Amino acid sequence: MGTARWEQRDGNSEMGTARQARPVKEPKDGHLRTQALGKLQKRREERTWSLPRLESPSVNPRQAPSQARATVRRIESAPTGLSQAGDPGMPTEPPIEALSAAEALAAAQEILPWVCEIRRDFHQHPELGLEEHRTSARVQALLREMGVEFETGFGGTGVLGLIPGSGQVSAERKADGQVPTVALRADLDALPIQDAKDVPYKSKIPGKMHACGHDVHTAILLGTARLLSGWRERFPGLVKLLFQPAEETVGGAKFLIAGGALENPKVEAVFGLHVDSELEVGRFAFHFGQRNASSDTVRLILNGRSCHAAYPAGGVDAIVMAAQVVSALQAVVSRNVDARDSAVVSFGTIHGGTQGNIMADRVELTGTVRILDTRIRQRVLQRIRETAEGIASALGGSAEVEIEPGYDALVNDDGMVKLVQENARVLVGQDSIVVRERPNMGVEDFAYYLNHAPGAFFSLGVRNEERGIVHGEHQEGFDVDEACMAYGVAIQVLNASRFLQLGR
C-alpha cells in the first residue's frame, strides 16, 4: 500500500507527479461496451451538453446558461422526486466552474443503466466480509477502464481510488497549504442470508445475499467515480474513493485507515451513504450529531458446583446465578444510566446444564451492549463486570466476564451534514428531506472514519411500495428501487466537488 506524498502546486493545482492519472485508454470490448452504453453514447451525441465519457475523462464542456436551463426543464418533467430540482428557491450556485445539481443529476441519470448493470452483477455474486475477491476485482477493472488510479491490499480486498482534480484551488483553500482532499466511501460485503426474491438478478450464491445494500453503495461509488473522472477540471484537489471490506463483520474501515488511506494528503472530509428501506426513493434522511450506537460483545461464564438437583444445598446452582445476573444487568440500564441517555444490554444466548435433575455447574451467556453516548460506554461496561462478579460471588460461585469491543458510536459533523443536506435540497427539494432527531441503536463502521476526519453519513431512500419494495435491511426479501442510485451518484458528486471547491 503506502501512499506517496502529494504537494499542492500553484495555479492549476497540478498534483504530485507520482500520482498523475494514467493515460486515458479506450475501453476494451467487454463490460463497458454494453448495449446500454451504446444507447447512452447515441443519446449523448444527440444532446447539446456532453456526459463525461469513459474514453476521455477530462472532456466535458461547461454548460452555457441556456443549456443549463434546458437540463432543468428536462429534470422537471422526470418522474419521482425530481420535480423540485428546478425550484426557484434553489440557492445561488457557487462560482461558474462549480457543478450544478441539475448537471450532476442529469449525468447520473444518463449513466444509471450502466450503474444498474454493475449493481446487478454484484447482487448476483455476493461475497461475505474479507472474502470479497471477485467484487474487489470488478471494482479494480472498472476503475482501470475509467482511467482512475488505485491502490489495493487493504484487508485483502479493500481498494483506494484516487481522482485528482485539475480545477483552480481557491485563494482561501490555497492559504492553508493543504491539498483539498475529500473521501467517499462504499462497503463491499454481503450477508449470510438466503435470497428469497423472485427477480432475474437474484443471488446466484446459496446462503449469501446483498441484504444490506452494499452492492448499491459500491455501484453508486463507481458511478460517482465515472462522473468525477470526466469532470476533473471542475474541481480542485483530490477525491479518494474508499472501497472497504467487511462492514458487517470486523469493521473493514480499520484496514483502510491503518493502510494510510486517510493520509498523504490528509482527508479533510469524508462522506458515506446507506440505503434506507423505510425511506421512499427520491428522499434523503439526515442525522445531526449522533447517528448510530457503539457496540460491545459480552461473554459471561458463571461457575457453580454441580450436585443432585434434589439436594441443592450440596452445590452452587449456576442456573439460579444466571437468572439473577440477567435480571440485575437490566438494572445497569435503569439505575446506572441517566434517564436522558440510552443504553441497551441484551443477551441472545444462554447455555448450561445437562439434565433436569442435575444442578448445572456452568452457564455461558453472550450478549450485546449498545450505547449512544460515548461518555457512558466505559461506565456501563464496568458496571456489567462488577454486577456479574458480585452476584456470582454472593451466591457462592464465580463469574468470568469477557468484553470484546465492537464498533464505535457514529457521530456526524454538523457542518458536513449541513453541506450534504444543502446538496440534497437542490437535488430533490426541501419536502423530500427528512431530519431524524433520534439516533438508532444499530452500528456502522463508518464511525471509524469520523474518528479521523469530520464527515457525514446519511440515508438514501430506496423504498417503493407500489412495486413491493418494502422489505427491511438484513431480510431475505430486501431489494431497492434502483432509481435511487441516480440520486446517490448525484449527491456524492456534489458533496465531493463542492467540498473541494468551497471547503466547509
- By annotation, the residues acting in catalysis are 407, 482
**Cis ω for the linkage preceding 88 (within 30 of 0):** no
Question: Which residue's CB comes closest to Zn ion?
Answer: 212
Q: Which of 62, 405, 17 is nearest to 235 (CA)?
A: 62
* Cα 343 to Cα 329: distance, rounded to the nearest angstrom: 12
Question: Shortest Cβ distance from residue 247 to Zn ion (Å)?
Answer: 6
* Cα 197 to Cα 190: distance, rounded to the nearest angstrom: 15
Is 319:366 a contact under the CB 8 Å cutoff?
no
C-beta of 212 vs 256, nearer to Zn ion: 212
Contact region for Zn ion (CB under 5 A) — 26-34, 50-58, 173-181, 206-214? Answer: 206-214
| Identity at 227, one-letter amino acid code | L
C-beta of 212 vs 395, nearer to Zn ion: 212
Contact region for Zn ion (CB under 5 A) — 101-109, 205-213, 294-302, 464-472? Answer: 205-213
Question: Shortest Cβ distance from residue 248 to Zn ion (Å)?
Answer: 5
Segment (H or E) for 500: helix 484-502
Report strand pairing: 158-164 vs 238-244: antiparallel
C-beta of 192 vs 312, nearer to Zn ion: 192
Q: Which of 371, 380, 378, 458 is nearest to 407 (CA)?
A: 371
Locus of grid cell 447520473: 108
Segment (H or E) for 187: strand 181-187
Which residues within the stretch 370-429 sit at the binding site for Zn ion (CB under 5 A)?
Answer: none
Triad 243, 141, 6: Cα angle to 5° = 60
C-beta of 114 vs 407, nearer to Zn ion: 407
* Cα 53 to Cα 67: distance, rounded to the nearest angstrom: 18
Question: Shortest Cβ distance from residue 444 to Zn ion (Å)?
Answer: 7
Q: How many residues sit in the footprint of Zn ion (CB under 5 A)?
A: 1
Is 485:219 a contact under the CB 8 Å cutoff?
yes
Question: Shortest Cβ distance from residue 189 to Zn ion (Å)?
Answer: 9
- Alpha helix ranges (H) inside 351-468: 374-394, 414-428, 447-450
Question: Shortest Cβ distance from residue 261 to Zn ion (Å)?
Answer: 19
C-beta of 53 vs 214, nearer to Zn ion: 214
C-beta of 94 vs 406, nearer to Zn ion: 406
Is 19:162 a contact under the CB 8 Å cutoff?
yes
Locus of grid cell 448495449: 35
Would you state the cell numbers that stand for residue 308, as one nine-digit string? 443432585
Contact region for Zn ion (CB under 5 A) — 46-54, 84-92, 209-217, 397-405? Answer: 209-217
Question: Shortest Cβ distance from residue 213 to Zn ion (Å)?
Answer: 6
Question: Shortest Cβ distance from residue 299 to Zn ion (Å)?
Answer: 22
Contact region for Zn ion (CB under 5 A) — 5-13, 17-25, 40-48, 204-212? Answer: 204-212
Regarding 212 and contact with Zn ion (CB under 5 A), the answer is yes
| Cβ neighbours for 395, distance < 8 A, ≥ 6 positions apart | 304, 316, 317, 320, 321, 324
| Identity at 225, one-letter amino acid code | A
Q: Which of 299, 249, 289 is nearest to 456 (CA)?
A: 289
**Contact letters (x/-) for Zn ion, 25-64, by CB under 5 A?**
----------------------------------------
* Dihedral sign from CA coordinates of 324, 330, 331, 336: positive
C-beta of 362 vs 370, nearer to Zn ion: 370
CB-based burial label for 4 (10 Å; 0-12, 13-18, 19+): exposed
C-beta of 40 vs 212, nearer to Zn ion: 212
**Helix, strand, coil % in the chain, rounded to nearest 5:** 35, 20, 40
Question: Shortest Cβ distance from residue 214 to Zn ion (Å)?
Answer: 6
C-beta of 60 vs 292, nearer to Zn ion: 292
Question: Shortest Cβ distance from residue 238 to Zn ion (Å)?
Answer: 26
Contact region for Zn ion (CB under 5 A) — 86-94, 207-215, 226-234, 377-385? Answer: 207-215
Binding site for Zn ion (CB under 5 A): 212
